[in-house]
Structure 1
Amino acid sequence: MGKDQRKWNETHKKFREVLLNPEKHKEAVQLFLSLHSFLHSSSISHMSEATLADELVTNLDGNTFRQYPVSIPDTSNSIAWHLWHITRIEDMTMNILMLNKQQVLHTTNWLEKMNISFPHSGNDMSEADIALLSSTIDFNSLLEYREAVGKRTQEEISLLSPGQFKMKVDQKRIKRLFDENAVMDNSKWLAEYWSKKDIAGLLLMPASRHIFIHLNKCVRIKDKLHKKKKKLV
């Protein structure tokens, strides 16, 4: 998978280079779809090879999925939290900020299905709430929610027109983040960060690089916990 991740980084660099060129819009869309597909289940794009998301969930047991806190250099949060967090971020940035449409979260009773009550991004979340989410969230429903969000992103990105990637985020859509409790009041810094972006910026980070970073953290958590379990056997 290391070779695939290097290829992903190279593709992301190329995506950045062509993203704001309207004459290369179709190429940019195809590059994004390639990048995005690697970050979701292969069932979304019908890829023949395993994706980074596939690698993570393969042989992922419940204890490893829910373990909190964990101890790796750049996070203490559970795999459960990371998967939920990146999905909420993708859902709100793509469907509120980019499209001004209904979040996938609200298309059905996803919170009830996932057995949680947190509609926000998870930024600045208390340790108690992270522990609660990690211990109660339904694994299969979370994966189904991820798939629904990923499919929506791929469907909608293909409908954007040349030049739209340069559009700035509408400030009225920033307000929706708070109206829908997608971002907590103590995470205003996050909304301010997004408010300065254009659509290209949302595609470069929340919808691609951000997911890539968190999935890699999850793989490292999984590998460390599995190695630890083997030593105890």
Structure 2
Amino acid sequence: MKYFDKDNKLTLMHKELNKIIRKAEMLETSKNLFINLYLELKKQIDNLFIEFKNSKNENIIWNLWHIIRIEDLIVNIFICEKESVLNEKLKKELNISITDTGNSLSKEEIKKLAEDINIDKLKYYNDKVSEKTINLIKRLKAEDMKRKINKINLEKIINDGGVSKDNLWLIDYWGKKDIAGLLLMPLSRHIIVHLNQCYKYIKPNRINFLL
């Protein structure tokens, strides 16, 4: 069931992006389309942070952590080949023990994550990652879109604890993509999917308010 993007506006934007993103002559159009889609998605994430004033839902918190952490890894380590936004200082401020994407967390671990995490710092983390993503997109050149990921950075993510040992399939999955593929998934389509999961846990009357 669709709880989010019911009119398919964002899904259609993503489909159009998929058609043109690797065409050199469509570079600026692709970048603008991605940014417009991305900002729409981030607006809905901001709305979910507002929703936490009514209910600190553990499933929404897990989905947001998952979205933000993956984006941080993909943008800053894979594509920019720098350090992730999440560091030891921010980890302490977030009041969390994990550094990975959270794919294998049990129900009990998700509950603890939601109980412990500092929501304001999670919002801060999201904003910092978004800033890095937008800056990246603005700098991309046509030849970047088909550039493959440096295998050294696949190992860096594992060594930095970005992906847990039982989810190394993620590394294989990401490692097969070029930058255009990463922009399509997970930097846009993945967010759409998980936002739908988030909105499943909000009462219908609240969804209308947020959207």
What TM-score does the superposition give when structure 1 sets the normalisation length?
Answer: 0.81
Q: 1:202 to 1:124 in 2, by over 3 A?
A: same
Equivalent residue for 1:140?
120
Instruction: Return the alpha-carbon distance in structure 2 between the equivalents of residues 89 and 6 of structure 1.
Output: 24
**2:65 equivalent in structure 1:** 84
Residue 101 of structure 1 corresponds to 82
User: What does residue 212 of structure 1 align with?
Assistant: 192
1:117-156 paired onto structure 2 within 5 Å: 117-156=97-136
1:14 paired residue number: 16
Aligned in 2, Cα 1:93/1:3: closer, same or farther, shift over 3 Å?
A: closer
Deviation at 1:171, TM superposition (A): 1.2
2:17 touches 2:30 (CA, 8 Å); kept in 1? yes
Which ranges in structure 2 are unaligned for 5 or more consecutive residues? Answer: none
Q: 1:123 Cα shift?
A: 1.2
Task: Tell me how many residue pairs correspond in the alignment.
Answer: 205
Structure 1 regions of 5+ residues with no counterpart?
Answer: 41-50, 68-77, 228-233
Q: Tell me the residue number matched to 1:27.
A: 29
Q: Is the 8 A contact 2:74 2:182 kept in 1?
A: yes
Whether the aligned pair in 2 keeps the contact of 1:56 and 1:215 (CA below 8 Å) is no
Q: How does 1:160-179 map to 2 (within 5 A)?
A: 160-179=140-159
- 1:169·1:199 contact (CA, 8 Å) conserved in 2? yes
Q: Does residue 222 in structure 1 map to residue 202 in structure 2?
A: yes
Asked if residue 52 in structure 1 is aligned to residue 44 in structure 2, the reply is yes
Give SS of 1:104's match.
Answer: coil
Q: Specify the SS of the correspondent of 2:56.
A: helix
Q: What percent of counterpart residues are identical? A: 32
The yes-or-no answer on 1:65 pairing with 2:56 is yes
Q: One-letter code of the match for 2:176?
A: K
Query: What does residue 70 of structure 1 align with?
Result: none
Query: Which whole-Å CA distance do the structure 2 matches of 1:5 and 1:102 have between them?
Result: 38
The CA deviation at 1:55 is: 3.4
SS in 2 for 1:38: helix
Match of 2:177 in 1: 197
- In structure 2, the partner of 1:185 is 165
CA distance in 1, matches of 2:41, 2:7: 10
Partner Cα separation in structure 2 for residue 5 and residue 136 of structure 1: 36
Question: Counterparts of 2:49 and 2:199 in 1: how far apart (Å)?
Answer: 9
Asked which structure has the greater RCO (Cα within 8 Å, sep 6+), the reply is 2
Instruction: State whether residues 96 and 102 of structure 1, in contact with CA within 8 Å, keep that contact through their aligned partners in structure 2.
Output: yes
In the TM superposition, residue 226 of structure 1 has moved relative to its aligned partner by 6.9
1:91–1:149 contact (8 Å) kept in structure 2:
yes
Paired residue type of 1:171: K
CA RMSD after TM alignment? 2.2
